Chain A
Amino acid sequence: MQLKTPKSTLVQKLKRFLFMDLVKGMGLTLKYNVGALTDKDSVAGKGIYTEQYPKVRPDVAPRFHGAPRLNMDPETHDTLCIACNLCAIACPEDCIDVIPMDVEIIVAGKPRRKKVLDEFIFDTSRCMFCALCQEACPTSCLELTQDFELATYSRAGFVWNREMLEQGRETVKYTS
Chain B
Amino acid sequence: MHQVEIATTQDTLLDSPEMVLNMGPQHPSTHGVLRVILKLDGETVMDLDCDIGYLHRGMEKIAENRMYTMIAPYWDRLDYIAAVSNGLVWVETVEQMMGLAVPIRAHYLRTILTELNRIASHLLWLATHALDIGAVTVLLWALREREEILKIFERQFGARLTCHAWRVGGMANDAYDDFGKDVRQFVNNFPKRLDEYETVLSENRIWLSRTVGIGVISAADAVAIGLSGPALRGSGVAWDIRKSRPYAAYGEMDFDIPVGENGDTYDRYLVRLEEMRQSRRIIGQALENLPDGPVNAKLPKVVKPPVGDYYHSIEGPKGEIGCYLVSDGSAQPWRVRVRPPSFVNLQALKQMCVGHLVADVVAIIGTLDIVLGEIDR
Is there any pair of Cβ atoms, one from A and one from B, under 8 angstroms apart in the complex?
Answer: yes
Asked if B55 is an interface residue, CB under 8 A from chain A, the answer is: no
B74, B154, B201, B204 pick with most chain A CB within 10 angstroms? B154
Q: Number of A residues whose C-beta is below 8 Å from B?
A: 31
Asked if A131 is an interface residue, CB under 8 A from chain B, the answer is: yes
State the CA gap A62–B173 with chains docked (Å). Answer: 13
Q: Which of B159, B196, B264 contacts A3 (CB 8 A)?
A: B264
B74, closest chain A residue (CB): A92
Contact of A25 with B204 in the complex, beta carbons under 8 Å: yes
Contact with A along B139-168 (1 / 0, CB 8 A): 000001001100100111111001010000
State the CA gap A78–B204 with chains docked (Å). Answer: 66
Contact of B262 with A128 in the complex, beta carbons under 8 Å: no
Asked if A16 is an interface residue, CB under 8 A from chain B, the answer is: yes
Contact of B212 with A49 in the complex, beta carbons under 8 Å: no
Contact of B261 with A130 in the complex, beta carbons under 8 Å: no
Asked if A173 is an interface residue, CB under 8 A from chain B, the answer is: no
- Specify which chain B residues have a CB less than 8 angstroms from the CB of A25 in the assembled complex: 199-201, 204
State the CA gap A26–B288 with chains docked (Å). Answer: 38
- Specify which chain A residues have a CB less than 8 angstroms from the CB of B69 in the assembled complex: 132
- Specify which chain B residues have a CB less than 8 angstroms from the CB of A131 in the assembled complex: 158, 164, 172
Contact of A61 with B189 in the complex, beta carbons under 8 Å: no
Min CB distance A23 to B, Å, is 10
Contact of B144 with A21 in the complex, beta carbons under 8 Å: no
State the CA gap A125–B216 with chains docked (Å). Answer: 45
Asked if A151 is an interface residue, CB under 8 A from chain B, the answer is: no
State the CA gap A44–B199 with chains docked (Å). Answer: 17
State the CA gap A91–B203 with chains docked (Å). Answer: 51
Min CB distance A68 to B, Å, is 13
Contact with B along A1-20 (1 / 0, CB 8 A): 10110000000000010000
A91, closest chain B residue (CB): B70
Asked if A28 is an interface residue, CB under 8 A from chain B, the answer is: yes
Contact of A22 with B159 in the complex, beta carbons under 8 Å: no
Chain B residues 104-152 with CB under 8 Å of chain A are 137, 144, 147-148, 151
State the CA gap A1–B148 with chains docked (Å). Answer: 41
Check A49/B147 contact, CB under 8 A, given A4-B262, A130-B164: yes
A24, closest chain B residue (CB): B199
Asked if B71 is an interface residue, CB under 8 A from chain A, the answer is: yes
- Specify which chain B residues have a CB less than 8 angstroms from the CB of A44 in the assembled complex: 189, 192
Q: Which of B147, B159, B264 contacts A129 (CB 8 A)?
A: B159
Min CB distance A63 to B, Å, is 4
B186, closest chain A residue (CB): A43
- Specify which chain A residues have a CB less than 8 angstroms from the CB of B205 in the assembled complex: 16, 21-22
Check A21/B203 contact, CB under 8 A, given A4-B262, A129-B159: yes
Contact of B70 with A92 in the complex, beta carbons under 8 Å: yes
- Specify which chain A residues have a CB less than 8 angstroms from the CB of B164 in the assembled complex: 65, 130-132
- Specify which chain A residues have a CB less than 8 angstroms from the CB of B199 in the assembled complex: 24-25, 28
Contact of A3 with B70 in the complex, beta carbons under 8 Å: no
Asked if A141 is an interface residue, CB under 8 A from chain B, the answer is: no
- Specify which chain A residues have a CB less than 8 angstroms from the CB of B157 in the assembled complex: 63
State the CA gap A29–B136 with chains docked (Å). Answer: 11
Min CB distance A7 to B, Å, is 15
State the CA gap A108–B205 with chains docked (Å). Answer: 87
Contact of A92 with B158 in the complex, beta carbons under 8 Å: no
B195, closest chain A residue (CB): A28
- Specify which chain A residues have a CB less than 8 angstroms from the CB of B196 in the assembled complex: 28
Contact of B144 with A49 in the complex, beta carbons under 8 Å: yes
Chain B residues 179-210 with CB under 8 Å of chain A are 185, 189, 192, 196, 199-201, 203-206
Asked if A142 is an interface residue, CB under 8 A from chain B, the answer is: no
- Contacts A43-B185, A60-B154 given; 18 further ones with Cβ under 8 A? A3-B212, A3-B264, A24-B199, A25-B204, A28-B196, A61-B154, A61-B176, A63-B157, A63-B173, A64-B159, A65-B158, A90-B70, A92-B70, A92-B71, A92-B74, A130-B164, A131-B164, A144-B158
The 7 A-B residue pairs with the shortest CB-CB distance in the complex, in nearest-first order: A130-B73, A92-B70, A25-B200, A61-B155, A63-B158, A65-B158, A21-B203
- 12 CB < 8 A contacts A-B: A1-B216, A4-B261, A16-B205, A22-B205, A25-B200, A28-B200, A62-B155, A63-B158, A65-B159, A90-B70, A92-B71, A131-B172
